[in-house]
Amino acid sequence: MSDFTRIEFNAGDGKPLFFLRLTPPDPYRGPVMLVHGMSVRSNIFNPPVARPLPHVLADAGYDVWMLNWRASIDVEPSDFTLDDAAVHDHPAAVAKIGEVTGWDTMKALVHCQGSTSFMMSICAGLLPDLPKVTTVVSNAIALHADVRTLMDIKMPFAMGALRHRVDGMDAQWGYHAPGFWAKVTRSLMLLHRECRNPVCRMSSVVYGAGWPVLWRHENLDDATHDWIKGEVGWAPIAFFEQIQASLKAGELVSTGKYPLSVLPLRFASQMPKTDARFVFMTGSMNRCFVPTGMAATFDFFEKVAPGRHTFQKMHGYGHLDIFLGKDAATEVFPFILDELNRE
Ligand SMILES: [Zn+2]
């Protein structure tokens, strides 16, 4: 990570967050913010492959800002929901990029729960006017969650059986499960004999239905599959409850913690307060959130502004292998670059 500069800032509620920034000699295309998903960290965009995404973007002239928001395993854990990130993290992150770079426009690439929380923020009109976010590439899930049935079984298990017993779920329990209920959850790893990587197997217990869930083994090289052991960790139960509520509602919902004047209750039932261009993408074989959810979000935006936005399924990819795959630099990143470059 020696190429990256650490830039610290505080979220709107004072929580310390930070960026890892990769700036090329001539960042003529301006800033792009990369936002990771749940229970990982910004480093998830930087696997040990020859051409990871941050370097591809920097070589193309982008000033790359990898955000560690409150879901990062490198940030002090808290019992947060997507609401907290939408209200406090993303507006402050965008403002910080503007303050440091002086640019009055920027772009964003947001993944999974980094995407849902960012979409909540931008659709509720909570981002600063400057710098203005003009293009958003959203991967895996945006305003509509859709899963296969097995995940529906797992999530009530997590909340019904474990609420008030554990405060979160942790893929690192694959190595060490502290306490009775963590050990009970860990025992579900017996269902996952698809590889010998304890964190890969435990992440499949936590995040959906698939063997494995978060990537297709075929798409990862051995070094990246091994590296993942240190990259997936803890997520709060409160977050799983919010996704469960969103599944029931058929669209992303807030928790009601903040006034309706700040965050609406439902996010696909009102006009988004943004004129950014959105690129919705997902792996055709995503087993964490199936592609029909992303298609529903595209349909929603297509009705708002026909012909303006894009939807793309990446053939043969799952959830995170979109960024981690051994061939992502040739099969996925050119699409991302083309869309970011489009005016
Ligand atoms: Zn594995």
The string of DSSP codes covering 177-220 is --SHHHHHHHHGGGG--S-S-HHHHHHHHHH-SSSSSSS-GGGS
The pLDDT, as a whole number, for residue 309 is 98
Return d(Cα 113, Cα 139) in angstroms, integer. 9
Dihedral-angle region of residue 338 (phi above 0 means left; psi in -120 to 50 means alpha; beta otherwise):
alpha
62, 104, 132, 138, 340 from 31: Cα distances, Å: 6, 10, 11, 16, 11
Whole-number Å distance, alpha carbon 191 to ligand 1 midpoint, is 13
CA of 319 to the centre of ligand 1 (A): 14
Q: How high is the pLDDT of residue 77?
A: 93
237-267: pLDDT as tens digits: 888 889 889 988 999 999 999 999 999 999 9
196 alpha carbon – ligand 1 mean position (Å): 7
Does residue 16 have a cis bond before it (omega within 30 degrees)? no
For residues 122-138, average pLDDT? 98
pLDDT at 246: 92
Ligand 1 centre to CA of 287 (Å) is 14
Report how far residue 115's alpha carbon sits from residue 111's, in angstroms, rounded to the nearest whole number. Answer: 5
CA 210 to ligand 1 centroid distance, Å: 11
- pLDDT tens string 1-25: 579 999 999 999 999 999 999 999 9
Q: What is the pLDDT of residues 303-340, one digit of tens each?
A: 999 999 999 999 999 999 999 999 999 999 999 999 99
- The Å distance, Cα 203 to ligand 1 centre, comes to 9
Confidence of residue 152 (pLDDT cuts 50, 70, 90): low
> 215: CA distance to ligand 1 center in Å?
8
Q: Calculate how far, in angstroms, residue 207's C-alpha sits from the geometric centre of ligand 1.
A: 14
C-alpha to C-alpha distance for 9 and 93, rounded to whole angstroms: 8
- Cβ neighbours for 196, distance < 8 A, ≥ 6 positions apart: none
For 5-147+253-341, which CATH class?
Answer: alpha beta
By C-alpha distance, which of 155, 23, 205 is closest to 97? 23
Distance 158 CA to ligand 1 centre (A): 22
Alpha carbon of 156 to ligand 1 centroid (Å): 25
* pLDDT, tens digit (0-9, with 9 covering 90-100), for 44-65: 999 999 999 999 999 999 999 9
| Residue among 272, 278, 291, 284 nearest 340 (CA) | 278
- The answer to whether the CB of 148 falls within 8 A of the CB of 287 is yes
CA of 237 to the centre of ligand 1 (A): 24
Overall average pLDDT of the 201-219 stretch? 88
- pLDDT at residue 157, as a whole number: 61
Q: Is the dihedral of CA 258, 158, 184, 39 positive or negative?
A: negative
pLDDT tier, 188 (very low <50, low <70, confident <90, very high otherwise): confident
Q: Distance, CA 71 to ligand 1 centroid (Å)?
A: 23
Ligand 1: distance of its center to the CA of 222 in Å? 10
Average pLDDT for the chain = 93
CA of 259 to the centre of ligand 1 (A): 42
Domain definitions of the chain by residue range: 5-147+253-341, 149-239
Q: For residue 163, what pLDDT band results from cuts at 50, 70 and 90?
A: low
Closest C-alpha to 298, from 89, 152, 140: 140
Instruction: Calculate mean pLDDT across residues 176-181.
Output: 87
For ligand 1, the distance from its centroid to the CA atom of residue 173, given in whole angstroms, is 15
Which is nearest to 300 in space by CA: 138, 149, 128, 148? 138
- Higher-scoring residue by pLDDT: 89, 180: 89
* Residue 343: band (very low, low, confident or very high) from pLDDT cuts 50, 70, 90: confident
